[in-house]
Chain A
């Protein structure tokens, strides 16, 4: 039931696990994710997004090439991101992140 709610809720809370978004988001910080916004607008440079990869990741959009997005962590030294797994598509973006 909770999984269903999480899947269909337009807004979800996300716990940031790890330090790759430091100093913007600290480990354990809770952020708000808007899952609807990109249905009506395009992701923009510097948007922080939750991305579906092998795991759900939180990253910042650093480059846009057509419909492909290059996402990186703010803490470049400790981040696994597009530098390793490559460009991602819009369909992999779950939603836009807002600080609470």
Chain B
């Protein structure tokens, strides 16, 4: 039976079954964005601490890895922020937080700025912006 089935399987029709949570699941958390922002700052500090002269191959390797990690976490931070902005927050939240769109817009832009530059100031601004979003998020949860 098993042998017969294994011969039939390649000819069976194929379809997709979804095992994801793309349909609104109501599970939101600003923590991933905060961790990503903290990682961006850490990478900036590590890049700045690398030797400026007489770099070894290992230093260059570390430089590339740190830049890549900074890039990836800035991207992740932006993605997490956008999920909160577009999926979690609703019109009703604007009553208590009228500046909400501007806060998110600036935070998303800071993610891009941190990709473009190695700047401790920009990384700290990003952390501050994401913390502000987390604070608003906590207040909306507490109000429920």
Contact = CB atoms under 8 A, between A and B. Distances in A.
Contacts of A5: 13
Interface string A2-37: 100110010111111111111001010011110000
A2 B18 CA distance: 20
Q: Is the interface of B mostly helix, strand, loop or mixed?
A: loop
Interface string A62-100: 000000000001000111100010000000000000001
* Chain A interface extent, by class: 35 or more
Contact of A25 (B13, B19, B24, B26): B19
B116 interface: no
Given A12-B13, A14-B15, A54 B20 contact: no
Given A13-B9, A100-B9, A6 B20 contact: no
B12 A18 contact: no
A76 B9 CA distance: 30
Interface string A26-51: 01001111000000000000000010
A58 B21 contact: no
B9 A21 contact: no
Contact of B20 (A9, A13, A20): A20
Contact of A18 (B8, B13, B19): B19
A80 B9 contact: no
A57 interface: yes
Nearest to B10: A13
B142 interface: no
Given A2-B13, A5-B13, A9-B13, A19 B26 contact: no
Nearest to B14: A13
A78 B21 contact: yes
Interface of B: 5, 8-9, 12-27
17 contacts: A2-B13, A6-B15, A12-B12, A13-B13, A13-B14, A14-B17, A16-B17, A16-B19, A18-B22, A31-B17, A32-B12, A50-B17, A56-B15, A57-B18, A77-B27, A80-B23, A84-B23
Interface of A: 2, 5-6, 9, 11-22, 25, 27, 30-33, 50, 54-59, 73, 77-80, 84, 100
Across the A-B interface, the 7 shortest Cβ-Cβ residue pairs: A18-B20, A18-B19, A6-B13, A58-B17, A20-B19, A13-B14, A21-B19
